[in-house]
Amino acid sequence: METPISTTREDWINAALQILVDQGAGEVKILTLAQKLGCSRSNFYWFFKDREALLSDLLACWQAKNTAAIVTRAGFPAKRISQGVLNIFDCWANPDLFDARLDFAVREWARRSADVAAEVRRADAERLDAVTALFAKFGASPAQAIVRARTLYFMQIGYYALEIRETLADRLALLPDYILAFCGEAPQQADIAAFIARNPE
């Protein structure tokens, strides 16, 4: 029998992600999504066993985007620790790498779901391990590496949670001092220029 499919799996996931970010996990409903996509509810079941399967995929998307971005950037080649920290800062500067609104939405979801909360804890641990390894690679003691990684990571998560608003120009003006505070090493001007070049406003 021909499958009367007018959407793709990605359509459902993308629509669900948007609702998750805009309205919260509780509003990610099959009927709501079907109406948003202009198709019948039965279309959903060509791609997902049930709503829980979709929600599981949303968490996987979040991990694949946000956690992977930090872990990958922390492992990028760097000649100096300040350069390594700037690599991680790419995540904060480029929403195509790290979706802050999605991260916040998943953390809000975790307040209402023990399973999601466990996933968030695992993600935070994986991200922190990667940043800690970066500091350790450049000579920080085990304790120093952990503290510097926590300082960098928790500050940025708090920055999002508090919804700090500032222009890119204002933040870039403070960038060298942020780097110095996080790693104890002032960045070279060439590294700042390279960061700005790959993260245009």
Residue pair 100/160 in contact (Cβ under 8 Å)? The answer is yes
**Per-residue pLDDT tens over the stretch 59-90:** 999 999 999 999 999 999 999 999 999 999 99
What per-residue confidence (pLDDT) applies to 36?
Answer: 93
Task: Please measure the distance between the N-terminal and C-terminal CA atoms of the chain and give it in whole angstroms.
Answer: 50
Under a CB-based contact definition with an 8 Å cutoff, are residues 118 and 59 in contact?
no
Sequence-ordered alpha helix ranges (H) in 138-188: 142-161, 168-183
Q: Where are the domains of the chain?
A: 1-48, 65-198
Residue 113: predicted pLDDT: 97
CATH (one of 3.90.1480, 1.10.357, 3.40.50, 1.10.10) for 1-48: 1.10.10
Compute the average pLDDT of residues 113-139. 97
Q: Strand runs (DSSP E) across 36-165, as ranges?
A: none
Average pLDDT over residues 43-58: 96
Q: How far apart are CA 104 and CA 22, in angstroms?
A: 11
Q: How far apart are CA 12 and CA 56, in angstroms?
A: 13
- Residue 87's nearest CA partner among 198, 200, 201 is 198
pLDDT number for residue 2: 38
